[in-house]
Chain A
Amino acid sequence: DAGITQSPRYKITETGRQVTLMCHQTWSHSYMFWYRQDLGHGLRLIYYSAAADITDKGEVPDGYVVSRSKTENFPLTLESATRSQTSVYFCASREQNSYEQYFGPGTRLTVT
């Protein structure tokens, strides 16, 4: 299916475990983004990528790692999950010459 997909949609993990959230887009958009959404904080940018092999930190990067070996994929890894990382995570993408971002359906992550 065309568009931007995220997997898993729901994940429960334990403190200290590593977990990877996947994001895949079929538009060949240059830019990709990871946000987290928390009550009282709105949406905050974790990491973004301008192209394959180019990534940069957003507002709240601590505890997260990203990679982008292919244009269409942008996985987000929590190296050692903490309870404060319980959140809903959204991936987004954007064309090179446009300003709007398109969002995936989100992954709800619970860290126990």
Chain B
Amino acid sequence: DAKTTQPTSMDCAEGRAANLPCNHSTISGNEYVYWYRQIHSQGPQYIIHGLKNNETNEMASLIITEDRKSSTLILPHATLRDTAVYYCIVKMDSNYQLIWGAGTKLIIKP
């Protein structure tokens, strides 16, 4: 079973920041938080991952709470092309597989 909880769906206005929450209250010390997204009819796309510290790349920012029980993915200026299902995943260092939940369907509205 997935170890994360995400809202089923969210809306965001184009040009605004999209903030996608994820709860992972049972995360252990050696588990990383990964975010992927899947645009309709395509394979999933890696976005970002982190362990303890906040992370930022050209696509998004990942904010992890100090107790590591939750995180937020931030898309700073959402565009219509960001409409997708976003998956939050925790992955143990020694494990090779990703265990996916149902994700959050993010709809960007003009």
Same complex for A and B? Answer no
Residues of B in contact with A (beta carbons under 8 Å apart): none
